[in-house]
């Protein structure tokens, strides 16, 4: 696809506007990332192929990498999207929003577990206090 075609397509589809775009070959092989600034730069001739703009080293994560690795890669490369690549084929896309969502889910799950533990401890304390009270009352009734 030519640079001019990509520009026109992105201008006609505002929902597709992003900071970075993942570039692949026609058969789905990962080529690289391009920033929207690079795509829309007037320095590039509209009749050149979009793949000719990819200059930086390939930035991606594999399906075996951790979220920590993905965050570190995003921070180091200053990108907010990473392709997930296996054998040079794009098998997924990971964004900061995905990572934040996983993080928030983990926090929610942790808070839920802590509430259960707290409730169990409170019940146990109440039960122990109740047993002590019963023992005190039994002792008093036997003394009388």
Least confident of 18-32, 54-68, 72-86, 115-129: 115-129
What secondary structure letter does DSSP report for 29?
Answer: B
d(CA 79, CA 90): 17
Task: Enumerate the β-bridge partners of residue 21.
Answer: 34
pLDDT given for residue 15 in this prediction: 86
Do residues 32 and 58 make contact, with C-beta atoms less than 8 angstroms apart?
Answer: yes
Is pLDDT at 9 greater than 80 in this prediction?
A: yes
Taking only the tens place, the pLDDT of each residue in 57-73 is 789 999 899 888 999 99
Q: Is the model more confident about 17 or about 126? A: 17
Query: Domains in the chain, please, with CATH?
Result: 3-95 (3.10.580.10)
Do residues 83 and 22 make contact, with C-beta atoms less than 8 angstroms apart?
Answer: yes
d(CA 77, CA 19): 13
d(CA 55, CA 32): 8
């Amino acid at each position: 696809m030519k640079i001019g075609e990509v520009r026109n397509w992105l201008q006609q589809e505002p929902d597709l506007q992003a900071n970075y775009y993942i570039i692949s070959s026609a058969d789905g092989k990962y080529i690289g990332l391009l920033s929207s600034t690079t795509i829309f730069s007037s320095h590039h001739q509209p009749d050149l192929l979009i793949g000719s703009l990819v200059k930086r080293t390939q930035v991606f994560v594999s399906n075996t990498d951790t979220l920590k690795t993905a965050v570190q890669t995003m921070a180091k490369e200053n990108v907010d999207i990473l392709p997930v690549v296996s054998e040079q084929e794009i098998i997924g896309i990971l964004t900061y929003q995905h990572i934040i969502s996983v993080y928030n889910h983990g926090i929610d799950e942790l808070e839920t577990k802590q509430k259960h533990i707290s409730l169990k401890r409170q019940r146990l304390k109440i039960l122990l206090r109740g047993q002590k009270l019963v023992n005190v009352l039994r002792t008093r009734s036997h003394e009388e």
